[in-house]
Structure 1
Amino acid sequence: MRLPSLAVSLLSVPFALLSAPAIAEGMTAPQYPETRRGDVVETIFGEAIADPYRWLEDDVRNNPEVADWVERQNAVTDAYLAQLPMRDWFRQRIGEVFDFARYSVPVRAGNRYFYTHNTGLQNQSPLYVREGLTGEPRLLIDPNAWAADGATALDAWVPSPDGSKLLYSVQDGGSDWRILRVLDVATGAQIGGDVRWAKFTDLAWVGEEGFLYSRFPEPEEGQDFQALNFNQAVYFHRIGTDQAADELVFATPDYPERNHTAGVTHGSGWAIITSSIGTDARYEVHAIDLAARAERGWQARPLVTGFDNMWGVIDAVGGRLFVLTNKDAPLYRVLTIDLDAADPQWTPLVAEMDQPIDGASLVGDRLVLTYLRDASSAVRVFTLDGTPAGEVELAGIGSAGGFTGEPGNPETFYSFTSYNRPPTIYRLDLASGERSIFAEPQLAFDPDSLVVEQRFYSSKDGTRVPMFIMRRRDLAEAGVAMPTLLYGYGGFDVSLTPGFSASRIAWVEAGGAYVVANIRGGGEYGKAWHDGGRRANKQNVFDDFIAAGEFLIAEGITPAGGLAIQGGSNGGLLVGAVINQRPDLFAAGNAQVGVMDMLRFDRWTAGRYWVDDYGYPEREEDWRILRAYSPLHNISAGVDYPAILVTTADTDDRVVPGHSFKYAAALQAAGLGERPQLIRVETRAGHGSGKPTDKAIAEAADVMAFLGHWSGLEEAAASSGEDVE
């Protein structure tokens, strides 16, 4: 079972960076649309807080004035972006780089193998099945036929234990809401009706008879994209019955803020309910003996109470449960417990090491543990008594994931990727050690022409922080300073490990550098690294990112005036905050789907969960910290700012687009110099997942062209004789 799911020609000489007005020569400056200012002022903890754009918080689908504002903003932004010299080049090149066959890690059920396969530029990835590993692939689901705009996606999917049925979820327009369906694998026909109002859910089969899933109460009409999410519960849906007949398995009506997801161990011996309160990995765990269900019903037995630590059930062999935890081990360890014993006790199995565990699975008679070695994957294998049994050899700096499988069968599949290499899918027999390639991409670029290295730098307080740097090998060896795109996140225990992005490949091919800073707030070094960048320590995140930019300039990797920055979600907050604090350091920034109003973030959809990282706006101590860095509330009027492109989507119900709407309106009203502050609002898209390929390429081209224009990438490319217009 899965761990709980609660939580992109040669240059021989350096270029001379042009000044901003010279770069903008020949381009028409944007004329921002008029934005109505309201008169909302609230006194909070003794301070008068004006909120003139509060009306932009309304759902664009329900407020014509907001819809009109979005339309006018998009018209101005589209007209400006159409002038950018590299826009068409980026769109073409990103499409070329991305046009390769992509596969997911296969999942075996019975004698069938299930996996997604995208031929290259399909908007959504179809799902295939094979009868046996070498069988002929058969198309099972093609989500490209679901919507004319390609914005309805196949999300999660899980075959039943014998492979006769497939449970899958549908994501429409990028929303977090999911529609669940079951089909007959032999015929492809849907079995029964749709199951709705699932959200933040795992999917778990109970034998062949039905499945467990998590859902929220149906929201009031018109509130499905904005209302806060409370009272999540786990239900059992029996195949072929109506959703109204679903059985309530686990709920806590006295504690509506709690979240609950369900998994089932292989062999369907135990259902595991994992409960959380926010985004922190602090869980309670209950077990349901499925063999005794006829007698006891859905009786849940507490295994862990108190919401003090992370507990992730890996799988079980009989009644012996294997669990990953950070209890008394900030970098994680593995414990076991015998649920069949008269007095079950937690028993240590694999001790904490000097690197955090990032993933765990049980395959055959082996435990496969993925560790983070300075934010890059290292995979170690252990016997079921905890004895080390070697490492899985990986192809350098990168990220390994998957390792799907089950007890009793040594076959597993995994992927390996890096910044300059798309995922290759491997098959591994853990008993024999035999490894083979299941799927390897054929590429439109030479990965070896790009070099990926890791460096370390010191933050403001002396903390040693790693960063990954990808550049063209010829430019890196020549020591050329080049326009640099710096990316960061810094929150929620999320680790930024190496991954492939076609848009970043195009950026580097054009003569730029791409850098990822593994700043505090993430999970790269375990709990202490996360704690060092949240709540009262949040300023460390911004200091780390600013120090990364200063390091890149000091080391000659990028010239002064050549630094562009980018981040999404919590990373959008990061971009907004550091621009406010150091507008002189950056040439351009892209804040994607960002959390920009830190005084009201907890009022919509999933925002209430984020208090674990941000704190509570209603508490004065937390509020003053939030007030000090909130991007919306710390814009310095009249100061020269970088060029800023804010990107969001109308169906984002994770970080509602009102955050970005208000932030963009405030930027445009502040008089921030000659560089533009624009907003691009995608339609029929959400927080990121499920976005069709054509929309993803178009947005990436717009962003790269904008950042490249203001950081000097156009001249870097032109000086090498590249035709990028």
Structure 2
Amino acid sequence: MNIIKASIAAVTVSLLCACQQSANVTQYELHPPVSQQEPLVEQLHGVAVTDPYRYLEQLDSAKTNQWVNAQRQYGDNYLAQIPNRDVVEQRISELWDYASSQAPFFHNGREFFFANNGLQSQNVLYMKASEGAQAQVVIDPNTFSSDGTIALTDVSVSPDGKTLAYGTSVSGSDWQTWQFIDIDSGQSRGDKLKWLKFTGATWAKDGSGVWYARYDEPKDGNKMEQVNYDQKLYFHTLGQSQQQDRLVYQRPDQKEWGFSVDLTESGNQLIIYASQGTDPRRRVFIQDLTTLKVSPLLPELEAAYDYLGERDDRLLFFTDYQAPKGRIVAIDPNAPAKANWDEVIAETQQPISDMALVNERLVLVSLKDVLADMNVYRLDGTLETHLQLPAAGRVRHLKGKRNSSSLFFEFNSYIHPTGVYRYDFDGKGIQTYNLPEVAFNPGDYQTEQVFYSSKDGTRVPMLISYKKGLKKDGSNPTLLYAYGGFNINITPRFSPANIAWMDLGGVYAVPNIRGGSEYGEEWHQAGMLEHKQNVFDDYYAAAEYLIDQGYTTSTSLGAYGRSNGGLLMGAALTQRPDLFAAVLPAVGVLDMLRFHKFTIGWAWVSEYGSADSAKQFEYLYKYSPYHNLKVQDYPATMVMTADHDDRVVPSHSFKFTAMMQQLQRGDAPVIARIEHNAGHGAGKPTAMKIAEYRDIFAFLMTNFEKDLPSKI
């Protein structure tokens, strides 16, 4: 018998008296607190839908707070009893404690870069005034709060390199406040922009101010749950109050439109993107900055568009119009009809994942079966160079300007920590620029790529990482992570925590299931709306492959996913509980009938559909995790959320936990891990990340009937 199961009964039961949630005092630590039900049935398209825990959607109510406190303590007590959990935390901390930096970016000869000395809560922004100069701190978000829960969300440096605009968020909220400082003196400029979400700040060419998008201040102070509509685009002039900001563009007739901008290289025109929810397609408008007139450029919602720069009198754009894997075209702003487009780089079999215009070249990163492939083209579309990357992995953060002599970028894999590399356009190839020194040898680990068949025969890739010498005898603890949605590709992403998992003898597997962009827009569409079941089936097929090939068995297989991946976990629990020993839905979308009624949830309708539609309700109700729970044996489950998540509101996780605890027939635990002063994930301080991984690994191993070692 696992030690945790033997010791649980000995824990004190004093919590029960405080929360008054259960009548059986002696059984409290063996069974979760009882969640009160409030009968509620509503008719949706002729179907009677029950929702007995809807009261948990009232996040600030006394009843919900009582429920949260009881569940948090129950979950924390369960995790705290796992022997040697601190050993796991210590090993993760050792692996995490290394100096790292990100690819530098340049403004007016000044070099800027983010760096972390190892265990700092947040990355620090530095500047070098000139090549070879001593780096100085521009802004250190670790000074914002004692616990690291006020995070730097984004920065934007003025063209002359002398003023910094920066955004902050509190406790992981999507709400941002933007401020400005003089870089040389470090003094605040005094300007403050509030009620910003899902926006950056784009500087005018003369540095007089920035364009940004914002929402109206939420009514009644209900900023954590209120639906966000009617974003507006503004220009802020430095030195003025936000109330004086000039309204640039709004569409009161289109409450779902959101806005972002690019400034053309000439600085005379503003590219305005109008997005609709999370749909990757965008409308494009253009503003003449002399007359301030806004005109349609690509006004139909039919494709993705991203501005790259200019070539002669034409604008260079990435688009997937009639090219689901992407291509580069040149558009005449005075004659933007598609018949007038010049194709610069045609679509290939490898979808474009990143691009930049540097040194009068187009640098494109594409995906070759999920792994990065990098090429340099002349502006006429001629291939100039194929770049040889350090290994099979991921490339991101292409940095450089049109007149730069060098390109900087980051590279990593599941076993190679993120390093910064430099490519000089002189034929010398890629050079290392900044590689971290880590407390492990990447050569001791390996990643292999396999391909398996899904339920409908679709070929799906999967990357499997583990420590060398692993035996495929079915005994290995395995963590299967996936996402599968929103056109997001899950390429190799290094985490020191995953090295700790491999040190525990674990296998870390990531299938590239449909719903992402690993194979272009067609791959995305095959996993959205009425095709969402393909995502789930791809995931189950990955689990079956790992079992069939001897990596693990269902008694040592754990499932983990976040956000949209949390929805995947909910589906796994309700559709295939037999496949897994433990499942971890994190910040998940679990009520598919009501997600669109909170904060930015309406924006996901283009991905999921809406229960307001009779046709879409049918398939949403069929797989909605909250509504498909029933009395049966479920695997061990740790539902993970945070009290300040205003993207996927925590009521999803609260309701799902309450329902699952009620219906669990077996002995496996169902606990909630509810973080305090945290949000959806962005900006989470390092110590909080390490503690989260510690609990994930400890929960998995104890429910795999494997004791954690006293030393790693």
Taking structure 2 as the reference length, what is the TM-score of the superposition?
0.94
State the 1:66 CA deviation: 1.2
Match of 1:535 in 2: 529
1:366·1:430 contact (CA, 8 Å) conserved in 2?
Answer: no
Pairing 1:502-517 to 2, within 5 Å after superposition: 502-517=496-511
Pairing 1:618-697 to 2, within 5 Å after superposition: 618-637=612-631, 639-697=632-690
Match of 2:277 in 1: 278
- Change in CA separation of 1:343 and 1:623 when aligned onto 2, cut-off 3 Å: closer
2:317, 2:87 → 1: CA distance? 49
2:429, 2:144 → 1: CA distance? 40
2:351·2:520 contact (CA, 8 Å) conserved in 1?
Answer: yes
Residues 189-216 of structure 1: per-residue CA shift (max 9 Å, x gap): 1113210111110221002100111111
Letter in 1 for 2:91: R
1:104·1:115 contact (CA, 8 Å) conserved in 2?
Answer: yes
1:149, 1:670 → 2: CA distance? 38
Residues 421-446 of structure 1: per-residue CA shift (max 9 Å, x gap): 11101122224445432221110111
1:356, 1:421 → 2: CA distance? 24
1:397, 1:269 → 2: CA distance? 41
Letter in 2 for 1:24: K
Instruction: For residue 193 of structure 1, give the secondary structure of its aligned residue in structure 2.
Output: strand
Match of 2:139 in 1: 141
2:159, 2:529 → 1: CA distance? 43
1:44, 1:385 → 2: CA distance? 56
Match of 1:224 in 2: 223
Instruction: For residue 630 of structure 2, give the secondary structure of its aligned residue in structure 1.
Output: coil
State the 1:636 CA deviation: 2.3
Match of 1:498 in 2: 492
1:198, 1:316 → 2: CA distance? 30
- Change in CA separation of 1:491 and 1:143 when aligned onto 2, cut-off 3 Å: same
Instruction: Answer yes or no: is 1:153 the counterpart of 2:130.
Output: no
Residues 675-713 of structure 1: per-residue CA shift (max 9 Å, x gap): 101001111111000001111111111111101211244
- Change in CA separation of 1:600 and 1:127 when aligned onto 2, cut-off 3 Å: same
Match of 1:246 in 2: 245
Instruction: For residue 675 of structure 1, give the secondary structure of its aligned residue in structure 2.
Output: coil
- Change in CA separation of 1:109 and 1:93 when aligned onto 2, cut-off 3 Å: same
State the 1:340 CA deviation: 6.5
* Structure 1 spans left out of the alignment, 5+ residues: 1-19
1:480, 1:72 → 2: CA distance? 38
2:638, 2:506 → 1: CA distance? 19
Match of 1:699 in 2: 692
- Change in CA separation of 1:434 and 1:527 when aligned onto 2, cut-off 3 Å: closer
* Structure 2 spans left out of the alignment, 5+ residues: 10-28
1:395, 1:343 → 2: CA distance? 42
Instruction: For residue 537 of structure 2, give the secondary structure of its aligned residue in structure 1.
Output: helix
Instruction: For residue 389 of structure 1, give the secondary structure of its aligned residue in structure 2.
Output: strand
Instruction: Answer yes or no: is 1:723 the counterpart of 2:711.
Output: yes
Instruction: For residue 190 of structure 2, give the secondary structure of its aligned residue in structure 1.
Output: coil
Match of 2:14 in 1: none
Instruction: For residue 37 of structure 2, give the secondary structure of its aligned residue in structure 1.
Output: coil
Match of 2:346 in 1: 351
2:312, 2:112 → 1: CA distance? 26
Greater CA deviation, 82-91 or 603-612? 82-91
Letter in 2 for 1:58: Q
State the 1:86 CA deviation: 3.9
Match of 2:80 in 1: 82
State the 1:319 CA deviation: 4.0
Instruction: For residue 128 of structure 2, give the secondary structure of its aligned residue in structure 1.
Output: strand
Greater CA deviation, 431-440 or 559-568? 431-440
- Change in CA separation of 1:375 and 1:489 when aligned onto 2, cut-off 3 Å: same
Match of 2:446 in 1: 451
- Change in CA separation of 1:454 and 1:259 when aligned onto 2, cut-off 3 Å: same
Pairing 1:404-553 to 2, within 5 Å after superposition: 404-433=399-428, 435-475=430-470, 481-553=475-547
1:493, 1:49 → 2: CA distance? 31
State the 1:560 CA deviation: 3.4
1:510·1:713 contact (CA, 8 Å) conserved in 2?
Answer: no
Greater CA deviation, 602-611 or 260-269? 260-269
Match of 2:256 in 1: 257
Residues 217-261 of structure 1: per-residue CA shift (max 9 Å, x gap): 111132111111111111100111110010011111111111111
1:109·1:162 contact (CA, 8 Å) conserved in 2?
Answer: yes
State the 1:40 CA deviation: 1.3
2:387 corresponds, among 364, 372, 392, to 392
Residues 264-320 of structure 1: per-residue CA shift (max 9 Å, x gap): 134523311111112111111012233xx2xx12x1221101101111112235643
1:273·1:285 contact (CA, 8 Å) conserved in 2?
Answer: yes
Match of 2:548 in 1: 554
Cα RMSD after superposing both structures: 1.7
Letter in 2 for 1:289: D
Match of 2:332 in 1: 338
Letter in 2 for 1:392: L
Letter in 1 for 2:407: T
1:711 corresponds, among 663, 681, 704, to 704
1:41·1:48 contact (CA, 8 Å) conserved in 2?
Answer: yes
State the 1:604 CA deviation: 0.5
1:457, 1:241 → 2: CA distance? 59
2:221, 2:243 → 1: CA distance? 22
- Change in CA separation of 1:173 and 1:23 when aligned onto 2, cut-off 3 Å: closer
State the 1:30 CA deviation: 3.7
2:389·2:430 contact (CA, 8 Å) conserved in 1?
Answer: no
1:643, 1:626 → 2: CA distance? 25
Match of 1:8 in 2: none
Residues 26-52 of structure 1: per-residue CA shift (max 9 Å, x gap): 444543112111121111122211111
2:664, 2:250 → 1: CA distance? 51
2:600, 2:463 → 1: CA distance? 31
Instruction: Answer yes or no: is 1:365 the counterpart of 2:360.
Output: yes
1:101, 1:166 → 2: CA distance? 24
Match of 1:127 in 2: 125
Q: Give percent identity, aligned residues only.
A: 40
Instruction: For residue 662 of structure 1, give the secondary structure of its aligned residue in structure 2.
Output: helix
Residues 463-522 of structure 1: per-residue CA shift (max 9 Å, x gap): 11000000111115x767411000011111111000111221111111010000111111
Pairing 1:293-304 to 2, within 5 Å after superposition: 293=290, 296-297=291-292, 299-304=293-298
2:153, 2:198 → 1: CA distance? 12
Instruction: For residue 422 of structure 1, give the secondary structure of its aligned residue in structure 2.
Output: coil
Match of 1:165 in 2: 163
Residues 593-642 of structure 1: per-residue CA shift (max 9 Å, x gap): 000000101000111011111111111111110111111011121x1111
Instruction: For residue 240 of structure 2, give the secondary structure of its aligned residue in structure 1.
Output: coil
Equivalent pairs counted in the alignment come to: 691
Which structure has more relative contact order (CA 8 Å, sep 6+)? It is 1
Letter in 1 for 2:320: N
Letter in 2 for 1:643: A
2:297·2:333 contact (CA, 8 Å) conserved in 1?
Answer: no
Letter in 1 for 2:593: L
Match of 1:401 in 2: 396
Greater CA deviation, 190-199 or 596-605? 190-199
1:594·1:660 contact (CA, 8 Å) conserved in 2?
Answer: yes
Match of 1:117 in 2: 115
Instruction: For residue 470 of structure 1, give the secondary structure of its aligned residue in structure 2.
Output: strand
Greater CA deviation, 161-170 or 479-488? 479-488
1:435, 1:511 → 2: CA distance? 34
Match of 1:24 in 2: 5
Match of 2:13 in 1: none
- Change in CA separation of 1:623 and 1:341 when aligned onto 2, cut-off 3 Å: closer
Residues 319-363 of structure 1: per-residue CA shift (max 9 Å, x gap): 431100011101110001233679993211000001100111101
1:503·1:704 contact (CA, 8 Å) conserved in 2?
Answer: no
- Change in CA separation of 1:223 and 1:432 when aligned onto 2, cut-off 3 Å: same
Match of 1:42 in 2: 42
- Change in CA separation of 1:251 and 1:479 when aligned onto 2, cut-off 3 Å: same
